[in-house]
Amino acid sequence: MEKVWTLENEYITAGVMPGRGGKVCSIRDKDTGFELLYQSERGYPPLSPGMDFSGADASGMDDVFPSMGEVYAGPITDTVYFLPDHGEIWTSAMETAEADKIHISMRTQGVLLPYEYHKTVSLKGRRVEAAVRIVNRGEEPLPLVWVSHGLWHLEADTRFVFPRDGKYIEHLGGGYPEEEGGMASIDNPRYRFHEPVPEGKAMKFYFAEPVKEGRCAAVYPGAGIKAEMTFDPEKLPYLGFWITNGGYRGDKNFAFEPATAYFDTWQRAFANGRLPRIEPGGEVRLELGIGLSPTTDGK
């Protein structure tokens, strides 16, 4: 078992794995014992740079950077890169800069691209807060595709709360529904999940426009827990959502995925005209938080 740094306060515990890109592998409520993050039955297989994400644990919360994948050449840069599945941070062993009972800071450097990557995870009351700083050390602009890839525990009665200003989604596939692609209203019961995703199916979509409310949540009536994610919609304006009920590797989990770009690869985001970049010598700071709170009314 790889090293897990445990953060703990009066209300919650969180596990962080510096050797796996600073993965947050656990967020647990101390009063109820409720575990928010998906725990893979596969454990933690060894990682290697460039490997396929499906061959690893596919659990907990990873950072996707610098892209979900694919080969890319120009027009932002003339250099041709092979960007591995889900990026290279999640397979990187990060150096621990400092750590105590409620805080850990880590750092690493890019291998495929010239950047510094700094990540801090800390506890504040009933919240886990993560902060990332990316510095472009290269001589070319650095395309910025960063996605929070946090796989949460899924139960049959889990209820989802999306940003109130989100109206339309663009479906990206996953096997359900059959009509992949195109636009749909989030008010369609299929996407409000009043009925569970069918067994053996998976789905992924993005809200078609930037969200203005940086807030989404999952309610677990059986556990009496509400888990709420907050983020800055100015820096993370695009929100994706993934859910699998056995449709991917047999796993059952879901993810709210705040992102800097639309969609989550350089090619797609550039084609959509929504690919930000970090200028040479520049940096970007990204933050999000997850809070656990008791609930008795399912809201």
Residue 56 located in a structural domain: yes
Specify the CATH number for the domain of residue 290. Answer: 2.70.98.10
User: Whole domain around residue 197: which residue ranges?
Assistant: 5-294
CA distance 45 to 117: 24
Q: Based on C-alpha coordinates, what's the Rg of the chain?
A: 18
> What local confidence, expressed as pLDDT, does residue 37 receive?
98
**Alpha-carbon span 44 to 264, nearest angstrom:** 25
pLDDT at position 82 is 82
The domain tally of the chain equals 1
Instruction: Estimate to the nearest angstrom the gap between the alpha carbon of 30 and the chain centroid.
Output: 24
State residue 80's pLDDT score: 75
The predicted structure's pLDDT at residue 235: 98
The pLDDT score that the predictor gives to residue 299 is 61
Q: Quote the pLDDT of residue 297.
A: 66
Indicate whether 299 belongs to any domain: no
Whole-angstrom CA distances from 104 to 1, 59, 101, 134, 149 are 19, 20, 8, 17, 19
- Mean pLDDT by groups of 10 residues along the chain of 299 residues: 91 98 98 97 93 95 91 66 91 95 98 96 98 96 95 94 94 72 82 82 94 97 96 98 94 97 90 94 98 82
Q: Report yes or no on 101 lying in a domain.
A: yes
